[in-house]
């Protein structure tokens, strides 16, 4: 079974807990180095991934975007500036996505973008209008719903496997549009690949990347991922800044500092180990394989 490997292509100053405390003149880009190290690993292991790209990173690094495309990875959207859906109106999301499409059209002409991940997993029932906007703008799938409520994000009780979220309640599956002729999956539906959590003794344990890949014991992560794989594919997500030892560490309040920087040194070896132990592909490919 192949699993989805996803990289949120954002710089070290984009995360939600960092951006508000950092003056613009201290935002020294580091994405070329940090993403370069990740690309080296993927090249060495012959693994293709999905890169959810922040538009302003693409604008400042078109060569990096071309390299990612040339090496056979999938390109997808992570918003223009990492602004969350909670901070946007439907009209603002529409223009954000239009600007992103124009920018990527220039950087990598002809490359189709069909996947979206909301910054900070900000797709929940308060922002479910985004599903309709994504469909209108030609997206096929989304991977933004965290099926577990955390202090920052999440949708309690959401499905654990890929599903078509109801436009009335993203925690439930529902057909959004008519089925296509010939029994294909409905063309007017946006497929959701929720972030992977492991269900254990009535609890949901998030194991799929980011802070969880850094702070949880690696043995527990491996056990949980194997358990998920007995039933369905999982998704792993990492950020270049949290795989890169030279990421600047800001003096954030303690909980934020811990959530953002703890154990960054462990992520690259852990990711390499995951690539050795599990099979991965871009998210679009994994979803197509599930539908076949």
Among 4, 5, 7, 8, binds Zn ion (CB under 5 A): 8
Binding segment toward Zn ion, per CB under 5 A, in 3-11, 57-65, 208-216, 219-227: 3-11
The position carrying tokens 């070896």 is: 269
> For Zn ion, which is the closer residue by CB, 119 or 162?
119
Distance CA(145)–CA(237), nearest Å, equals 13
Q: How distant is the alpha carbon of residue 5 from its chain centre?
A: 9
| Least spacing, CB of residue 239 vs Zn ion, in Å | 7
Q: Which of residues 10-69 bind Zn ion (CB under 5 A)?
A: 10
Q: How distant is the alpha carbon of residue 148 from its chain centre?
A: 16
> For Zn ion, which is the closer residue by CB, 52 or 278?
52
The contact pattern for Zn ion, residues 123-162, with x = CB under 5 A and - = no contact, is ----------------------------------------
> For Zn ion, which is the closer residue by CB, 10 or 96?
10
Residue 278 structure tokens: 């599990």
Cβ atoms within 10 Å of 25's Cβ, excluding its own: 6
DSSP character at residue 170: T
> For Zn ion, which is the closer residue by CB, 67 or 84?
84
| Least spacing, CB of residue 184 vs Zn ion, in Å | 32
Query: 74 pairs with which residues across the strands?
Result: 50
Q: Is 242 in the site for Zn ion (CB under 5 A)?
A: no
> For Zn ion, which is the closer residue by CB, 152 or 290?
152
| Least spacing, CB of residue 223 vs Zn ion, in Å | 27
Both ends of the chain: CA-CA distance in Å?
13
Distance CA(91)–CA(104), nearest Å, equals 20
| Least spacing, CB of residue 118 vs Zn ion, in Å | 9
The closest of 83, 66, 97 to 19, measured between CA atoms, is: 83
| Least spacing, CB of residue 129 vs Zn ion, in Å | 20
Q: How distant is the alpha carbon of residue 123 from its chain centre?
A: 12
Residue with the CB atom nearest Zn ion in the bound state: 8
> For Zn ion, which is the closer residue by CB, 124 or 164?
124
> For Zn ion, which is the closer residue by CB, 79 or 233?
79
| Least spacing, CB of residue 82 vs Zn ion, in Å | 6
- List of residues 6+ apart from 133 with CB closer than 8 A: 90, 93, 94, 97
Distance CA(11)–CA(240), nearest Å, equals 7
The closest of 229, 193, 61, 24 to 118, measured between CA atoms, is: 193
| Least spacing, CB of residue 164 vs Zn ion, in Å | 24
Count of residues engaged in binding Zn ion, rule: CB under 5 A: 3
Q: Which of residues 87-126 bind Zn ion (CB under 5 A)?
A: 119
- 291 φ/ψ sector (left φ>0, alpha ψ -120 to 50, else beta): alpha
Contact positions toward Zn ion, by CB under 5 A?
8, 10, 119
């Amino acid at each position: 079974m192949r699993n989805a490997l996803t990289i949120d292509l954002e710089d070290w100053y984009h995360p939600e807990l960092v951006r508000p405390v950092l003056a613009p003149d201290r935002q020294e880009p580091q994405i070329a180095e940090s993403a370069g190290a990740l690309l080296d690993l993927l090249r060495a292991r012959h693994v293709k991934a999905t890169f959810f790209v922040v538009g302003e990173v693409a604008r400042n690094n078109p060569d990096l975007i071309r390299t990612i495309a040339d090496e056979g990875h999938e390109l997808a959207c992570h918003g223009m500036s990492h602004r969350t859906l909670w901070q946007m109106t439907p009209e603002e999301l529409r223009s954000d996505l239009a600007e992103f499409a124009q920018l990527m059209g220039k950087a990598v002409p002809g490359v189709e973008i069909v996947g979206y991940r909301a910054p900070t997993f900000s797709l929940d029932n308060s922002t479910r209008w985004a599903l309709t906007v994504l469909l209108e703008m030609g997206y096929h799938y989304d991977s933004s719903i965290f099926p577990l409520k955390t202090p920052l994000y999440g949708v309690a009780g959401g499905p654990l496997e890929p599903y078509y979220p109801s436009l009335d309640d993203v925690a439930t599956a529902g057909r959004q549009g008519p089925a296509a002729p010939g029994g294909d999956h409905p063309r007017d539906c946006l497929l959701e690949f929720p972030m992977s959590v492991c269900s254990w003794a009535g609890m949901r344990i998030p194991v799929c990347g980011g802070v969880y890949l850094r702070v949880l014991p690696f043995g527990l992560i491996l056990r949980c991922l194997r358990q998920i794989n007995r039933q369905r594919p999982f998704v792993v997500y990492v950020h270049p800044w949290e795989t890169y030892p030279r990421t600047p560490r800001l003096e954030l309040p303690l909980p934020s500092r811990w959530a953002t920087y703890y154990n960054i040194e462990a992520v690259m070896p852990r990711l390499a180990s995951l690539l050795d132990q599990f099979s991965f592909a871009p998210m679009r490919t994994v979803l197509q394989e599930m539908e076949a």
